[in-house]
């Protein structure tokens, strides 16, 4: 039997972020993604019910460039902040949540060398601190990937963790 569709659900803008993408939206947005070693920074303005979410792969670019690229944490953060300001939302009034940075290949990890996921997570923390945006929640590192669902109306983020199968 089909589930009845709530009138509010018919007007939801459902966005799926791929690596290197980001989204800024209002209360009618639900933003989803799937993270491995990548990291999502989520910014949410509780009074305006406006939010932003990124999906970045690397902390920073290897070479300087004049073009912004959401694949890099530094650029993704700047893109989100820029679009929030364009939407007349003050990023300093936002709350931040950080997710991801999972170790996808634990059998190949060297203890003395931080994984790309660890570098991504550390970069997210540093960026938010540098911009003065408080982190209210984080779920970083570990083994495996995460599915995220961000409800911009409520600010809730639902996380489903899926572990990596052990090597055979």
Inter-axis angle of helices 116-131 and 73-86, to 10 degrees?
Answer: 40
Given the residues 23, 38, 94, 137, select the one marked as catalytic.
38
Q: Is 38 a catalytic residue?
A: yes
Instruction: Report the b/e string of 17-45 with b at 16+ CB within 10 A.
Output: beebbbbbbebebbbbbbbbbbbbbbbbb
Instruction: Please answer whether residues 12 and 29 qualify as being in contact, where contact means their C-beta atoms are separated by less than 8 angstroms.
Output: yes
- Please identify every residue annotated as catalytic: 38
């Amino acid at each position: 039997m089909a589930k009845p569709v709530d009138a509010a659900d018919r007007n939801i803008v459902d966005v799926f972020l791929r690596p290197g993408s980001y989204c800024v939206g209002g209360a009618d947005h639900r933003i989803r993604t799937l993270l491995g070693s990548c990291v999502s920074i989520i910014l949410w303005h509780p009074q305006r019910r406006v939010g932003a979410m990124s999906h970045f792969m690397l902390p920073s670019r290897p070479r300087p460039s004049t073009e912004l690229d959401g694949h890099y944490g530094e650029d993704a953060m700047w893109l989100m902040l820029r679009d929030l300001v364009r939407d007349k939302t003050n990023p300093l009034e936002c709350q931040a949540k950080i997710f991801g940075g999972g170790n996808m290949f634990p059998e190949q990890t060297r203890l003395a060398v931080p994984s790309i996921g660890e570098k991504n997570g550390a970069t997210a923390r540093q960026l938010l601190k540098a911009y003065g945006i408080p982190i209210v929640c984080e779920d970083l590192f570990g083994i495996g990937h995460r599915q995220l669902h961000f409800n911009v109306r409520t600010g809730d983020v639902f996380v489903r963790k899926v572990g990596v199968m052990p090597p055979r």
